[in-house]
Structure 1
Amino acid sequence: MTKDEKERVQILAVSIDSHEDSKKFVQKLKERFAGDLDFPMLEDRDHKVIDRYGILNPDGKGWPHPATYLIDQRGIVRWKFIEVDYRKRPTNEQILQELLKLK
Structure 2
Amino acid sequence: MELQLNKDLQMDIDSCCSSSNERKSHHTDATKKNLVTRLNRIEGQIRGIKGLIEKDTYCDDVITQISAAQSALNGVAKMLLENHLKECVVDRINEGDLEVLDEVIVTIQKLMKK
Report the TM range for the smaller structure's normalisation: under 0.3
Structure with the bigger RCO (C-alpha within 8 Å, sep 6+) is 2
Larger Cα-atom Rg? 2
Structure number with the higher strand fraction is: 1
TM-score computed with the length of structure 2 as normaliser: 0.25
Structure number with the higher helix fraction is: 2
TM-score computed with the length of structure 1 as normaliser: 0.27
